[in-house]
Amino acid sequence: MRVSVLLFAALAAGAVQPARAQVTLDLAKVSCDQWVAYKITDPQKIALWISGYYNGKRGNTLVDTQGLAADAQKLRDFCLTNPQVPVMQAVERLMTDK
């Protein structure tokens, strides 16, 4: 009896734990429309990730906060007029224009 009560208590405690959902994004599939319209998350969060991704590829550890804001605005402007373009392709286009 005592073992079954302890087993039930352990199982009940485990059942009470909140489930944690893991959400991941494949930015190669996120469209400009989704990015600009907050359909996925705050666009600034994605812009920060994109900046880190490309700076990491270049081995650059410096953060240019004004440049980041300007680049995010360029991406936003581009995405407003090209809503179907994947956001990562938009970034590639804008980076080659520099």
Give yes or no for residue 10 having a pLDDT over 90: no
Per the listing, tokens 């469209």 go with: 31
26 or 97, which is more confident? 26
Question: Tell me, what's the pLDDT at 24?
Answer: 85
Q: Where are the domains of the chain?
A: 21-96
pTM: 0.72
Place of tokens 């581009």: 78
At 80-98, the pLDDT tens digits run 999 999 999 999 999 886 5
Of 41, 48, 44, the closest CA to residue 25 belongs to 41
Task: Report the pLDDT value the prediction gives residue 11, as an integer from 0 to 100.
Answer: 53
Q: What DSSP string runs through 20-56? A: -------TTS-BHHHHHTTSSS-HHHHHHHHHHHHHH
Domain 21-96 - what CATH class? mainly alpha
